[in-house]
Chain A
Amino acid sequence: MAARNHGLKPLRIATLFYARRLVRKSAKTAAKLMPKKVTGSNIIFWIVIGFLFAPLAVLIIYSFNKSRSGEWAGFSFIWYQKLFLGSPDLWKAFQNSVTIAFSSAAMATILGTLAAVGTARYSFKLKSYVSTMSFIPMILPEIVVGVSLLVFFAGVGLQLGMMTVWIAHTTFNIPFVYLLVSARLEESDPTIIEAARDLGASELQTLFRVIIPMALPGVASAFLTAVTLSLEDFVITFFVSGPGATTLPLYIYSMIRFGVSPVVNALSAVMVAGTVLLVYPLRNFLKVFAAR
């Protein structure tokens, strides 16, 4: 500000620039020279990581145990063999889970994205209703959502099954999609949309050629989040599922509840490995995910 009056702008900027470089450089060397500190928070962090992984490690070790009980009786792949070759019900449940996850995520992504576009671009009468309704399901305990849907389905006489699970999963996925896509739209430049409209694009053309491509990272992450939330859900599914609609979490539940077979260990190990394989390539995007 002052520089403008003094007429010394270039000089000032040059000095400032040089000073900043110096400071940065010295900060960098200082950071390099400083030994890695063993701080209290670091110690706690690694203890917590140990705490988070220890149970998973125990499961993986047990999955190679020959014996049925907890005692170690030698190394064996028998439970993996049983898992992949001798558990048709489990694979049926897995298939149900995947079907529900992708179909409910797709439905939620369509509904949530459209609503996010609508509320981001326009103001209308029911706007606050839409945004409030998209927020409340996220803050209610799952059990309440599950019980209320069960009572509702019983009331309207809808037979519990894949259909009701799909409806329930779509319902709890919508808020997450709406939130993630809205956040992405907020970051993008609204003048681009205005420009498209001014240049004569119809509303639909603007939607498919400008808005959706612009919001695509948000839409994609919303879809993936919805898929994982659906694969993961146990409580709500527990209430709204019926014959023939056993999902993988429900199947695992029944295995735990009614006689544990070490096949669960093998399955768990496979699922942990799957999670690692899925998350590791994403490690550089995890910060964005955490910031959600």
Chain B
Amino acid sequence: MKRNYGMAYATPQALWLTVFFAAPLLIIIAYSFLKKGLYGGVEPQLSFQAYVDMANPTLLTVAVRTLWVSLVATIMTILIALPCGYSIARSKNQAIRLFLVIVPFWTNFLVRIYAWIAILGNEGFVNQALRLIGFRPEGFQFLYNQGAVILVLVYMYLPYAILPLFSTIDKFDFTLLEAARDLGATKMQSYLKVMLPNIKGGVVTAVLFTFIPIFGAYAVPLLIGGKDSYMLGNVIADQVTKTRNWPLASAISMTVTLLTAVSVFLFALKKPKEQHVEKDLDPVGGH
């Protein structure tokens, strides 16, 4: 009988994550129930003030906006990414097409945000071009509004959605589409009723890969948006660094974490079933 070295292998990582991941999260949970310190930090006194503060209308507006922006941006991203993933999967030059998607994906995050400032900014490319043709939009700004934030978020997270969608669609047996067509389905029906159920796993992954980072977005609304496109991520950051209300920052973080965790687990519970269907390649089977 061989000896069990499992713990020996896993202990270093378990310790690291316990100290630097679990402990900080627990501290945040604890802080959200403590009294705010005068100059940042907390005082060791039980208080629910942070949760009361969270119910103020300004914060609620931001929360609703965050949810709204995340949903709109995620749906747009997925709808654009689906045909892209499909077209890569059916292409003969998969490698070159993936290369084209991955270059912007691997280009630095801030460089890509900055590129949009260079395009849409007041002295940016679009405004210069408009001036050249004699059209001067006085007082109108392309940047610093909700639309710009959504546009740039979609831009940032498109590759995150295209890649998992591609890898699932690539495993899909395309002859099933032809079979559906032969059996009288329209083109749209064959995509929606035959392909979509089979690639659900990939769609779920793509949704998670886009929704989670967008929901916690910080840099894009900060640099692209104005004061009225602030999202929860920005509020958390301000509470930590400027207002120094750590209990409130902790309480908002906890809420964001809980919302994320709940949505992931709702999705994750569904996922094994879909993967099973994928393996069976049984488009009409029970699900």
Contact = CB atoms under 8 A, between A and B. Distances in A.
Interface in B109-150: 109-119, 121, 123-125, 127-128
Nearest to A150: B240
Nearest to B20: A171
Given A69-B123, A70-B125, A144-B253, A239 B87 contact: no
Contacts of B87: 39, 41-42, 44-45
Contacts, number: 280
B31 interface: yes
Interface in B84-109: 84, 86-88, 90-91, 94-104, 106-109
A141 B233 contact: yes
A220 interface: no
A163 to B, nearest CB: 12
Nearest to A248: B108
Q: Is the interface of B mostly helix, strand, loop or mixed?
A: helix
A286 interface: yes
Interface in A43-74: 44-45, 48-49, 51-56, 58-59, 62, 69-72
Given A49-B100, A239-B240, A289-B102, A155 B13 contact: no
A228 B106 contact: yes
Given A55-B155, A70-B127, A287 B95 contact: yes
Nearest to A70: B123
B28 A151 contact: yes
A137 B110 contact: no
A124 B91 CA distance: 46
B175 to A, nearest CB: 10
B253 A279 contact: no
For chain A, the bracket of interface size reads: 35 or more
For chain B, the bracket of interface size reads: 35 or more
Contacts of A72: 128
B20 A152 contact: yes
Interface in B56-92: 80, 83-84, 86-88, 90-91
A29 interface: no
B253 A143 contact: yes
A141 B213 contact: yes
Interface stretch (B3-11, B43-51, B270-278, B279-287): B3-11
A123 interface: yes
Contacts of B113: 256
Interface of B: 2-10, 12-14, 16-18, 20-25, 27-28, 31, 41, 80, 83-84, 86-88, 90-91, 94-104, 106-119, 121, 123-125, 127-128, 155, 158-159, 162-164, 166-167, 170, 208, 212-213, 215-216, 218-219, 223, 233, 236-237, 240, 246, 249-250, 253, 256-257, 260-261, 264
Interface of A: 39-42, 44-45, 48-49, 51-56, 58-59, 62, 69-72, 110-112, 114-115, 117-119, 121-127, 129-130, 133-134, 136-137, 139-145, 147-152, 154-155, 167-168, 170-171, 174, 178, 197, 203, 228, 231-232, 234-235, 238-239, 248-249, 252-253, 256-257, 260, 264-265, 267-268, 271-272, 275-276, 278-280, 283-284, 286-287, 289-291
